[in-house]
Every structure is written in structure tokens, then in C-alpha cells.
């Protein structure tokens, strides 16, 4: 069993009630209210005037279920340890059972208000209450035989890093080593196996007790320790189950031997822690007239010597205060001084808690931002892969469509060319026939015209020839007459 105190961000406390009793978020097993009233708890949280509304936590078991009587006994004991010396009139609590994860979970919600005084109540302050709660947890684990986180961690652990990514990488590496453990016979082979992985480096510790391996991821200077089990120097045979079984048997034997002694020691420490818590709660919520010893004995009938002794001392101091006025004044002044100091410490603690809360918020925001970036990168990578696949598929389909289109276009083009050629040839033949007939007609007309022209021209030539011949004869006759006249003048000169 482990005890966890969780944060309720949604609706400032009401979200814790919604989550615990949600049927949608707990499929397979309906959440069951074991103690308390949902409506009353919601009303107190809603009307709580303080900023912090409620404390939300869980008792988580590895077991699937436990006996009902033990279950209610554990719940009652937990309330007495968490808020000792307080009863139902001082605080409200709601218990709900979950078993949807295959194991038992006892969830509790406590409004952060003391009901009788209406003052702010913080049931759990980690620095002050963690040790007491852990002591009670180990007593219950030893008493009822529940699985203890300390026993689990002693078998096989990985130290936690501040960076969630490093923790995820370490867990994945651990799972990879366990899957391949049959091939890794000793610690040296495990170190060689790790060093073959990119951006991961394993170093063997220098200490004599070499029951762990230092593993560095990337440029991170802080190592993650892989401790126990197969990472021990004594691991040599490659049988991880044998190593774990041997280790479990050793722990079980040692636990059984020391069980009673350990419960007794833890109980003494727990008694002292409870007493301190009682005194703190009485100082905060109960008046000075209330007898601390009587108040404790009325509510809890306990015979623990450590509690009785401390309460007797407190009672004696109160009696001395009543008897001596001078001492009362001194105590009052000291009390005022202590109250001032307490206020200063509370303010300092509040400021420090505020600073720590801011740092934790920044760290959570940074981790969430890193996680969102990683998710975005993975989503983009998946998107790119899908786009590449779609593009390749589209390119193949486009090539196939282009080839088919080219073939269809070529076939259609060839058919159109053949049809065009045939039509052109037919038009050429028709045009040639028409042109030939037209040319013959025109040639006949031209030839007839030429013949007519030649005939007329011949007639004109003949007419001209005849005229020239006539003129030539006339000229010849005139020349002959002139010659005759010249001869007559030559032979018959003038008288």
C-alpha cells in the first residue's frame, strides 16, 4: 500500500469529487462511497471562503481487494493519524472506493476548513506530516502483509530525473534490457549493450559496492542510476526471474525476522509524531481552557507511554501557570513572542510555499510545454509521413492517368489524321477534277480566240502585203517614168 496526496486543479476542489465519483472515468467498476455524504462535502467545499478548498488523496493497494472490516479499520486509523484529537464535529471527509484499474484504491477528500472554529485547516503539510504518514503506512503494510513500495524499490529501481523525457527514456531502456536479458550474461555485457545505443552512455561505478550502473542520456550531465536486480555486480547467469526470486526471498525472510521489532520501533516513532500533531492542532483550533490530556483521553483511549508522558508534562505546565501570576506574565510574554515568531515563520513558510508553488507551476508548465512540443512534433511527423505516402500514391496515379491519356490522345489523333488525310485527298481530287474541267474550257476559249485573232491577223498581213506590193509597183513605175524622162532630156536637149 502507498499513500498519495494529489492536487485538485479543476473547480478548486469540486473537481476532485467529480473525478472520484465519475462513472465515465472509471469504466468497469462503479465508484462506491464507503463513508461520508457527497452533497455535504460539495456544499462545504463550495462555501469554503479560503483559497485552498480541499485535500485530495488515495490509499493505493497492489491487491485487487481486501476484507471489508480491515478496509474500514484502515480508513479509521488513517483519519486518527492524519488528524489526531479531532472528530466528526471538527472536519468532514468523503471516502470512495475504486477498483477499475485491477487494484484497490481508497480515495479521500477533506475540505480545508475546521468546522467548529471556521478556521483554515490544512490536513497535510508535506514537510511536517510526511514522516508520520510514512510510518503509519509501513506499520499497516507489515501488520496486514500488504505490498510495500520499499520492498519493490529494493528489488529493481531507477532514480528519477527532474526531466520527464529522461524518465521516459530510462523506463524504455529498462524494458528493452529486460526483453533482451537472456542474451546478457552479466553486468559488463549490459553496459556494452547500453553503449551501443545512440546518445546513451553507461558507466560502471568506481565504488566497491557495484550494485548499480550510471546511465547518461544525450548531453545530460546527471546520470540515472539503474539499481538492483540484473544491474547488480553479482548478476552473472542471465536468468532475471532467478535473480528477482532470490532477492524477494531474502527480503521476505529478513522482513519476517524483523517484522515485530520493526512494528514496535515504528509505533514508538509514530506515537511521538502523533503527539506533536495533537499539540499543533490544539494550539491552532482549541481554546486555552481545554485540558489537552483530558481531551485526548476522551476521544482516544490509548495506553501508549510516550503520549501519556508528554501529556502529563503539558498538564503540569498548565497548573504551574495558574498558580504563579508572575510566571503567567512571563509565559504570556513568551507566548506572545512565540506567536509573533510563529506568525513570522508562517508568513515565511507561506512566502516560501508560494515561491515553491510558482516554481513548481513553472516547472509543470515547462514540462507540459515540452510534452506539447513533443506531441506536436510527433503529430507533424505522422502528418508528413501520411502526406508523403499520399503524394507518392497521387504521383503513381497521375503517371498512370497520363499514360492512359497519352495513349487515348495518340489513338484519337491518329484517327483524326487519317480522317483529315482522306477528306483532304477527296477534296484535292474533287478540286483537281473541277480545275481540270475549268482549265480545259478556258483553254478551248483561248485557243479559239487565238485562232480567230491569228486568222484576222493573217488577213491584215495579207492586206498590208498587197498594199506594199501595190506601192512598190507604183514606185517602180514612177522610177521607170523618171528614167525615161531623163533619157529623153539627155538625148533631146532643149532648143
- Model confidence pLDDT, tens digit, residues 333-367: 777 887 888 888 888 888 888 888 888 888 888 88
> DSSP character for 380?
H
| Cα-based angle 161, 241, 201 (whole degrees, multiple of 5) | 35
- Give the range among 188-197, 265-274, 282-291, 401-410 with minimum mean pLDDT: 282-291
Helix, strand, or coil (residue 4): strand
Asked if residue 235 lies in contact with residue 173, where contact means CB atoms within 8 angstroms, the answer is: no
- Separation CA 128–CA 83 (nearest Å): 13
User: Which H/E stretch holds residue 97?
Assistant: strand 94-98
Phi (first) and psi of residue 92, to 5 degrees: -115, 140
- Separation CA 99–CA 30 (nearest Å): 8
* Residue from 108, 112, 92, 94 nearest 49 by CA: 112
* Residue from 195, 194, 186 nearest 238 by CA: 186
Can you name the residues that pair with 6 across neighbouring β-strands?
Answer: 56
pLDDT of residue 241: 53
Helix, strand, or coil (residue 167): helix
This model's pTM is above 0.85: no
* Residue from 126, 122, 103 nearest 112 by CA: 122
**Chain length of the chain:** 495
* Residue from 173, 284, 187, 321 nearest 243 by CA: 187
Asked if residue 62 lies in contact with residue 11, where contact means CB atoms within 8 angstroms, the answer is: no
Average predicted confidence (pLDDT) for the chain: 80
- Residue 310, pLDDT above cutoff 70: no
What are the tens digits of pLDDT across the range 218-230? 888 888 888 877 7
pLDDT of residue 140: 92
Report the interhelical angle of 305-323 vs 240-285 (nearest 10°): 20
Helix, strand, or coil (residue 462): helix
Residues with Cβ within 8 Å of 321's Cβ and at least 6 positions away in sequence, in order, are: 327, 328, 331
What are the Cα distances from residue 450, in Å, to 27, 439, 444?
Answer: 119, 16, 10
Amino acid at each position: 500500500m502507498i499513500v498519495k496526496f494529489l492536487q485538485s486543479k479543476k473547480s478548486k476542489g469540486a473537481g476532485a469529487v467529480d473525478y472520484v465519483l465519475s462513472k465515465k472515468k472509471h469504466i468497469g467498476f462503479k465508484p462506491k462511497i464507503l463513508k461520508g455524504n457527497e452533497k455535504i462535502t460539495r456544499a462545504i467545499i463550495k462555501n469554503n471562503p479560503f483559497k485552498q478548498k480541499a485535500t485530495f488523496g488515495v490509499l493505493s493497494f497492489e491487491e485487487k481487494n481486501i476484507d471489508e472490516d480491515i478496509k474500514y479499520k484502515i480508513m479509521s486509523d488513517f483519519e486518527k493519524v492524519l488528524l489526531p484529537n479531532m472528530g466528526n464535529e471538527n472536519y468532514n471527509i468523503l471516502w470512495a472506493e475504486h477498483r477499475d484499474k485491477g487494484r484497490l484504491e481508497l480515495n479521500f477528500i477533506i475540505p480545508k476548513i475546521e468546522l467548529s472554529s471556521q478556521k483554515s485547516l490544512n490536513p497535510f503539510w508535506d514537510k511536517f506530516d510526511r514522516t508520520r504518514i510514512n510510518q503509519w503506512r509501513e506499520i499497516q503494510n507489515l501488520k496486514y502483509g500488504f505490498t510495500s513500495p520499499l520492498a519493490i524499490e529494493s528489488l529493481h529501481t531507477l532514480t528519477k530525473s527532474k526531466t520527464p523525457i529522461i524518465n521516459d527514456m530510462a523506463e524504455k531502456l529498462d524494458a528493452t534490457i529486460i526483453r533482451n536479458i537472456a542474451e546478457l550474461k552479466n553486468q559488463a555485457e549490459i553496459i556494452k549493450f547500453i553503449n551501443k545505443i545512440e546518445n546513451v552512455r553507461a558507466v560502471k561505478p568506481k565504488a566497491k559496492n557495484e550494485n548499480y550502473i550510471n546511465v547518461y542520456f544525450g548531453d545530460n550531465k546527471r546520470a540515472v542510476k539503474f539499481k538492483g536486480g540484473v544491474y547488480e555486480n553479482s548478476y552473472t547467469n542471465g536468468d532475471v526471474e532467478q535473480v528477482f526470486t532470490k532477492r524477494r526471498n531474502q527480503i521476505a525472510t529478513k522482513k519476517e525476522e524483523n517484522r515485530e521489532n520493526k512494528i514496535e520501533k515504528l509505533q514508538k516513532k509514530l506515537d511521538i509524531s502523533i503527539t506533536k500533531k495533537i499539540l499543533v492542532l490544539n494550539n491552532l483550533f482549541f481554546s486555552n481552557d481545554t485540558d489537552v490530556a483530558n481531551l485526548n483521553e476522551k476521544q482516544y483511549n490509548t495506553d501508549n507511554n510516550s503520549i501519556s508522558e508528554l501529556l502529563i508534562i503539558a498538564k503540569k505546565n498548565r497548573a504551574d501557570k495558574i498558580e504563579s501570576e508572575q510566571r503567567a506574565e512571563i509565559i504570556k510574554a513568551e507566548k506572545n513572542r512565540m506567536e509573533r515568531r510563529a506568525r513570522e515563520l508562517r508568513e515565511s513558510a507561506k512566502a516560501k510555499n508560494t515561491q515553491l508553488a510558482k516554481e513548481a507551476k513553472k516547472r509543470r508548465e515547462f514540462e507540459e510545454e515540452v510534452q506539447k512540443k513533443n506531441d506536436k512534433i510527433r503529430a507533424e511527423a505522422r502528418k508528413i509521413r501520411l502526406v508523403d505516402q499520399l503524394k507518392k500514391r497521387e504521383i503513381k496515379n497521375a503517371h498512370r492517368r497520363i499514360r492512359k491519356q497519352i495513349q487515348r490522345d495518340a489513338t484519337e489523333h491518329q484517327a483524326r489524321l487519317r480522317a483529315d488525310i482522306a477528306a483532304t485527298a477527296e477534296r484535292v481530287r474533287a478540286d483537281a477534277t473541277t480545275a481540270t474541267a475549268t482549265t480545259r474550257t478556258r483553254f478551248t476559249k483561248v485557243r479559239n480566240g487565238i485562232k480567230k485573232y491569228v486568222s484576222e491577223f493573217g488577213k491584215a498581213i495579207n492586206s498590208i502585203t498587197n498594199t506594199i506590193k501595190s506601192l512598190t509597183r507604183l514606185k517602180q513605175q514612177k522610177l521607170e517614168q523618171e528614167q525615161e524622162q531623163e533619157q529623153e532630156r539627155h538625148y533631146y536637149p532643149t532648143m
